[in-house]
């Protein structure tokens, strides 16, 4: 059944699809991220995450979506995971990714989301080095890093420039939109590589 959900700190309405856990139901639907809230399945689309964030950083929202598509199935092979059991660490400080993770996992509110500069991978180059995410659940840990072709040096240069002109602001907005389209158009495995996966 479909239910309208609005967290107390949400900036806008979104729709989450909810159903009882059915075992074989996919952990990640093709266009949705599926998690559990106290054994009840809820799912979130990219559009829901973008609405929750507010739209300023669509590229970051898209990256978080693909990270969850890539990593969540590795945290539990038997079905969707309890969203409040997921811990997230990243070298990437963008607000779009943070808000997307918060909507799906409530990790920011529950203090299970942290910035970890030590995850930076200089060997991947300036454009990609911070797009690294480590997700933990119980004894499982998965670390993923963005592949080539999804973040450019030009984008990084422009985001780090403090004195952007109006034209540069428009250029940056276009770059963010283009990135989101490029990321969302690709399979999660094509966007993010599994760097490490460990189970104890």
Residue 5 clears pLDDT 80, i.e. is over it: no
DSSP helix/strand/coil, 192:
strand
Distances in whole angstroms, Cα of residue 134 to Cα of each of 24, 153, 179, 197: 26, 23, 22, 9
Distances in whole angstroms, Cα of residue 197 to Cα of each of 64, 71, 137: 18, 9, 12
What percentage of the chain carries pLDDT values higher than 90? 79
The pLDDT value recorded for residue 197 is: 85
The string of pLDDT tens digits covering residues 67-81 is 999 999 999 878 899
Estimate the crossing angle of helix 95-105 against helix 58-75, to 10 degrees.
Answer: 40
Mean pLDDT for 172-199 is: 94
Q: In terms of DSSP bridges, do strands 140-146 and 113-115 run parallel, antiparallel, or are they unpaired? A: unpaired
- pTM, whole model, 2 decimals? 0.84
Structural domains of the chain in order of their starting residue, each with its CATH number? 57-199 (3.30.1330.130)
């Amino acid at each position: 059944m479909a239910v309208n959900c609005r967290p107390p700190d949400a900036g806008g309405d979104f729709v989450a699809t909810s159903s009882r856990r059915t075992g074989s139901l996919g952990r990640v639907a093709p266009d949705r991220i599926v998690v559990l809230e106290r054994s009840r399945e809820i799912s979130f689309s990219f559009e829901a995450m973008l609405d929750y964030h507010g739209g300023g950083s669509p590229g970051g929202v898209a990256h978080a979506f693909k990270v969850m598509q890539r990593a969540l199935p590795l945290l539990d092979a038997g079905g969707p995971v309890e969203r409040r059991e997921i811990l997230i660490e990243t070298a990437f400080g963008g607000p779009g990714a943070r808000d997307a993770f918060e909507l799906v996992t409530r990790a920011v509110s529950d203090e299970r989301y942290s910035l970890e500069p030590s995850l930076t991978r200089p060997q991947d180059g300036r454009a990609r080095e911070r797009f690294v995410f480590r997700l933990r659940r119980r004894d499982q840990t998965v670390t993923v890093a963005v592949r080539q072709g999804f973040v450019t040096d030009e984008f990084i240069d422009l985001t780090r420039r403090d004195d952007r002109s109006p034209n540069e602001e428009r250029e940056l907005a276009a770059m963010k939109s283009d990135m989101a389209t490029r990321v969302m158009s690709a399979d999660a495995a094509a966007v993010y590589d599994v760097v490490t996966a460990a189970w104890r």
